[in-house]
Structure 1
Amino acid sequence: MPKITYVAADDGERTVDVPVGTSVMRGAVSNGVPGIVAQCGGNAQCATCHVYVDPDRYGALPPMSDHEDAMLDTTACPRRETSRLSCQLKADADFEGLTVTTPERQR
């Protein structure tokens, strides 16, 4: 089970075990990690699970779909080069040590 660290916009952080096959979003919600609203429940329809991925790990993630790319243009906080929807990131062994930062706000 990979350990993923969630860093809040206010610099608080929490590391949790996320089961393989579980989304980074679901890992946060299931463990009470603040900053990820997940209003649509993981269907890539609301962009309230927007995160900034650690730049050193971003290139190793699976590519984003065109739909995710379009949804990232609707986030409450500015999109960055390392922005992803955490509902679209399914944990696997390569996610061990992944760090994501939540934006200041979600919609």
Structure 2
Amino acid sequence: MGRLKVTMTDVKGETRTFDNVDEGLSLMEVAKAHGVEGIFGDCGGGCSCATCHVYVAAEWMKKVGQPDDIELDMLDMAAEPQANSRLSCQIKMSAELDGIEVTVAPSA
């Protein structure tokens, strides 16, 4: 497994970069492991709560791809959904996503 880089900006505007991320981990797992403010992951990654809502930086959207129908339903219930909204539990780290940048969405 490779060691990958993720940059996250939390709900308070603090940006942190993690450069020791294992391939296969979800962005939610990374955020929770590092105490990123605003990522709760109440459902544990089951795509059923929208408490891990993030905005993916524009240049990464093509690589991340669009949400499936189940994720879209959850995003409809999230606070302030945008075109670049995703649930971080549904984004698994891979070599293709090395260096990804996301911003935690407001929860209310």
TM-score scaled by structure 2? 0.90
Residues 42-81 of structure 1: pairs in structure 2 closer than 5 A: 42-75=45-78, 77-81=79-83
Where 1:81 maps in the other structure, the secondary structure is: coil
> What is the number of residues matched between the two proteins?
105
Structure-2 separation of matches of 1:80 and 1:5: 19
Q: Identity over aligned residues, as a percent?
A: 38
* Cα distance in structure 1, aligned partners of 2:21 and 2:75: 23
CA contact (8 A) 2:41 2:51 kept: yes
Is this contact kept in 2: 1:6–1:100, CA < 8 A?
yes
TM-score (normalised: structure 1): 0.91
- Cα separation, 1, equivalents of 2:45 and 2:8: 17
Once the two structures are TM-superposed, the CA of residue 84 in structure 1 deviates from its matched residue by 0.2
Contact persistence 2:11–2:37 (CA under 8 A): no
| Contiguous gaps of at least 5 residues in structure 1 | none
- For structure 2, the 5+ residue unaligned runs are none
The Cα shift of 1:55 comes to 0.7
Aligned CA-pair RMSD: 1.2
